[in-house]
Amino acid sequence: MSSRFVLRKTHPFVAVLLAGALAACNTDQNRTRTQGAVAGAALGAAAGAGAAALLKKGGGTVAAAGAAGAVVGGLAGAAYGNSVANKKAGYAAQEGSLNAQLTGLHAQVAKLRDYNDSLKALVTAKDKQLAAVLATDRSGGPTVQEFDLRTTIGTKLTEIDGRARSWQETIDAHKAVLKKAADDPHSADLQKEIDELAEQRAEMLRQRSKLAAIPDKLNR
């Protein structure tokens, strides 16, 4: 029995399966699953019908064997397609997650940079306040300006220390994600943003040192 005859007998089963499957292809994952099922059905139908043909069975037997092969092949193909689709979904989810993390990291770097700019302005303002305090008569004891200078700086140092701990925890969390995604194409960008965030934290601590040194000048 010719291959043309086999295809003519099995074609209706594959066509019906393909028509129903295409109606469900509304996502890339579904499309992958469908492609696997259809390919498996086609191969199964052809294999089943071909086997019947080789055994010199009649046309009805060939058709039945083709139908059975289409079902078995379709199930096997669907299973394979589902496996591939799940992997695609996993890759897409990971890429989406890293993209979201990069966006968040970029915003965090900008936030910390703005905070450091405010610290620089504060250090400049407190240096001016120090100069004003040192220019006054302090023989009668600490002045109101001196008390304000010490108090506001002490409060700010406590705030910076808390932020430094929080930012370090954030950096460590990003590093943990990077370690798990070392082979991802976005890992280099992620590392760059983490390094920038760490640098901004270091800059914050440098501004802290400058701020902490101001009250010491009152004791000279």
Residue 21 has pLDDT above 60, yes or no: no
| pLDDT tens digits, one per residue of 107-157 | 999 999 999 999 999 999 999 999 999 999 888 888 899 999 999 999 999
| pLDDT tens digits, one per residue of 159-184 | 999 999 999 999 999 999 888 887 77
pTM attached to this predicted model: 0.58
CATH number assigned to the domain with residue range 92-219, chosen from the 4 options 1.20.58, 1.10.1740, 1.10.3470, 1.20.120: 1.20.58
Instruction: Measure the CA–CA gap between 113 and 11, rounded to whole angstroms.
Output: 66
| pLDDT tens digits, one per residue of 40-73 | 556 655 555 555 555 555 555 555 555 555 555 5
Task: List the chain domain ranges.
Answer: 3-91, 92-219
